[in-house]
Amino acid sequence: MNYGDTRPDCLDFNPFKAIVTPRPIGWIGTLDDQGTPNLAPYSFFNGLGAYPDQVFFASDGAKHSYVNARDRGEFTFSLATEELAQAMNKSAATLPHGVSEFDVAGLDKGQPANIRTPFVAASPAAFECVTIHTMQLEDRTGKLIDRYMVIGEVVRTHIRDEFVKDGRFDTVGARPIARMGYRDYTTVQTAWELLRPDD
Ligand SMILES: Cc1cc2nc3c(=O)[nH]c(=O)nc-3n(C[C@H](O)[C@H](O)[C@H](O)COP(=O)(O)O)c2cc1C
């Protein structure tokens, strides 16, 4: 099977998100114009590179996280884990202005050191980020689409002490969750090593 812009009838949904997988979840903290903390998951999220450590997330529509990260110039990332999955999902709810997802999801706020936006205190790892670029994206013809991207640089990294083992972040122990397609998720439960030819 192959197809272009028109999906064949035998596929009930666009499988794009089920193919580009697993996608790490950027659990994004921001502050709104009143200073109320906002929290939402974004699976169109990833690292862009290290030294300097940079991340991006992309928003379908100009959602609060995008607007806040653009207008405030900062955001946080918290690692979403198996233990925090229900809270992460609750934080995806659309809430009235001034109501914080931290409160609705029952999450304590971790206090940032370099910026003002809190992160999820219970998360094994979190980043404080400064917004570098925000942009509206285009399609292949150059037409602006209702999609927005934020690129940020990590200015402080928080790791809960119990997740540092033998000089490394214990990724498997943290049990990060990631998005697949539809309503499916996966959990990091194993790791295997593959040395590079030049190692
Ligand atoms: C696991 C998960 C991943 C999500 N990823 C995205 C995403 O990449 N882009 C997006 O626009 N919305 C995504 N959403 C939906 C947003 O989290 C949701 O619209 C939320 O209300 C946005 O909140 P905000 O307006 O406070 O930023 C995702 C939801 C879940 C549960």
Question: Which residue is closest in CA terms to ligand 1's atom 4?
Answer: 42
pLDDT tens-digit series, residues 149-178? 999 999 999 999 999 999 999 999 999 999
94 lines ligand 1 (CB under 6 A): yes
Report the atom number in ligand 1 closest to the C-alpha of 60.
11
Question: Is 187 a member of any domain?
Answer: no
Encoded amino acid at 50, one letter: A
179 lines ligand 1 (CB under 6 A): yes
Question: Is 182 a member of any domain?
Answer: no
Question: Is 199 a member of any domain?
Answer: no
Question: Which residue is closest in CA terms to ligand 1's atom 7?
Answer: 42
Torsion of CA 165, 171, 174, 177, to 10 degrees: 180
Report the atom number in ligand 1 closest to the C-alpha of 101.
26
Q: Ligand 1 centroid to 161 CA: how many Å?
A: 29
N-to-C CA span, the chain:
39
- CB 162: neighbour CB atoms within 10 A? 10
Percent of the chain with pLDDT over 70: 100
Question: Is 11 a member of any domain?
Answer: no
Question: Is 68 a member of any domain?
Answer: yes
21 lines ligand 1 (CB under 6 A): no
Question: Is 116 a member of any domain?
Answer: yes
Question: Which residue is closest in CA terms to ligand 1's atom 9?
Answer: 59
State how far the Cα of 61 lies from the Cα of 183, in Å rounded to an integer: 20
| pTM of the entire predicted model | 0.98
pLDDT of residue 25: 98
Give the residue numbers spanning the domain of 49: 24-171
pLDDT tens-digit series, residues 50-60? 999 999 999 99
Greatest Cα pair distance in the chain: 54
User: In CATH, what number is assigned to the domain containing residue 64?
Assistant: 2.30.110.10
Look at the chain and report how many structural domains it folds into. Answer: 1
Question: Is 147 a member of any domain?
Answer: yes
pLDDT of residue 97: 84
pLDDT of residue 24: 98
